Amino acid sequence: MSFTPIFPGSVDAAGRPATLGVMGGGQLGRMFVHAAQRLGYFTAVLDPDPASPAGRVSHHHIVTGYSDAEGLKQLASSCAAITTEFENVPADALQALAACRPVTPGAGAVAIAQNRIEEKAHFTASAGVAGVTCAPYAVIETSEQLQSVAADLLPGILKTARMGYDGKGQARVNNVAELAAAWNGFEQMPCVLEKLLPLKAECSVIVARGWDGAIVGFAPQYNVHVEGILAVTTAYEGNMPPALAQRARVATESIANHIGYVGVLCVEFFVIDDGSADGALVVNEMAPRPHNSGHYTMDACDVSQFDLQVHAMAGLPLPQPRQHSPAIMLNLLGDIWCDAAGQPRAPDWQTVLALPGTHLHLYGKLEARVGRKMGHLTLTGADITGVKSMARQAAKILSLPGLDALE
C-alpha cells in the first residue's frame, strides 16, 4: 500500500504540528506517547479515564468512550495517523477512523486478535510455513459442539473466544463434566477448547511491519507467567536454540504478512516437550500492538518496540533493532505495594535502585491494586550471569514471583 510519510516536525495545511493519535490511555499508550514526543510529534489520546496514564502526558486527551462518534471525529480531525494500545478497542471504531485517516493496525487485524476462533483459523493458514501449528482444539458455540468434543482433547483449557487476557476467561478442565460446567460458567459464550500439552517454556516474538511490507524485529524472548500474568521476561544472545528461534521468527513474519499487517505485532508461542532436545513450537495468540514482554527493548536495544510503533504508523524507515545488553524484565504488580497483612506500603526502591543495571519504569497509575500492572523493572549488564544475579536480588527485595526463571 502506498503511503505518504508523516515526517517529524512537519505541519498540516493549517500550520498545526504533525500529531499521532492512540486509542487507549494505559501504560502502552503512555510509552508510545513518550516515543512519539521524543521525535517531535504532538500526540492525542482517546480514553474515557480522565486520569489515564497516557492521557496525562499527552498534548491532547479526548475523554470519551471508544465508540463515541463525536470523540472519534475529534481524534480524526486532530491526527495525521492513529494507532491502538490494546486489542479490545472496538474494531468498528478503528474502521470508522480509517475512512479518513491511516490507522495501524487495521480493523481487520484487530478483529482477528479479538476472537480466538478467527485467530486460530488465521494461524492455521499462515504459520505452517515454519512448521508451526496451533494446539489441537475444538470450537464450542453450541450444545451440540460441546457434546461432540473429541475425548483426546481432554484434559484441556477452555477459553472464551472474546475478552480473555492475563489469564481471564480461561478454565482448566479435566473431563467432560468439568468442561460442561466451565462452559455454563462462561454463560455458554463461544469458546475454544485447547488440548493441554506438555509445556517446556513460553516465548514471544515482536516484529514491526511497514506500509511497504518491510519487516524488522527482535530475537525471541522467554516468558514466565504466574497466575496468567507475565512475571519475568529473559532476553539475551543464546537464550533459545537457534533453530527454534528461527522457526518462531519465520512463523511470526508469515502471520503478519498473511494479512498485510502494518504496525508492531507480538506473537506468543508455547515450547512443547515432544521428546526432542529443543522441543516443538505451538502458536498461542497474537497481540496487535507492543507487548509487555518487549518492554526490555527500551533499555537493552538501540531501538525499542515503541520507537518501531511510531516509525511504522508514520511511514518512516524501519531500522533493524540491535540488542546491546542482555536483559531481564520483572513485571511490577500492585501486590508489592501491600504488606503480608494487606496494608499499604512503599516498595524498597532505595535498595533496588542501588543495584547496578536497574531501570525502573512506573506507569503513573494513581491506585495500586493486587494484580494491576503498575510498572516494570529491567536489569541490564555486560553478561547474563551478572544480570541474573541482580535480577534475583531485585526480585527477592520486592518479593516478586518467578524466581525459578532466574536460576
Q: Residues within the annotated binding site for ATP?
A: 116, 159, 164-170, 194-197, 202, 225, 284-285
C-alpha cell at 262: 502494518
* Residue whose grid cell is 496514564: 53
Separation in Å, CA 78 to CA 75, 175, 249: 5, 54, 36
Burial label, 310 (beta-carbon count in 10 A; 0-12, 13-18, 19+): buried
Comparing C-alpha atoms, which of 222, 216, 274, 285 is closest to residue 249? 216
Q: How far apart are the first and last CA of the chain?
A: 47
Comparing C-alpha atoms, which of 314, 271, 310, 268 is closest to residue 291? 268
Burial label, 145 (beta-carbon count in 10 A; 0-12, 13-18, 19+): middle
Q: Is the separation of the CB atoms in 214 and 318 below 8 Å?
A: yes
Write the CB contacts of 208 (distance below 8 Å, at least 6 apart in sequence): 215, 216, 217, 263, 264, 265, 305, 308, 309, 311, 312, 318
* Residue whose grid cell is 521428546: 275
Write the CB contacts of 35 (distance below 8 Å, at least 6 apart in sequence): 304, 306, 307, 309, 310
Comparing C-alpha atoms, which of 320, 302, 310, 325 is closest to residue 380? 325
C-alpha torsion angle, residues 243, 249, 253, 254 (rounded to 10): 40
- DSSP 8-state code for residue 52: -
Binding site, by residue number, is 116, 159, 164-170, 194-197, 202, 225, 284-285
Burial label, 349 (beta-carbon count in 10 A; 0-12, 13-18, 19+): middle
On the CB side of 33, CA atoms within 13 Å amount to 26
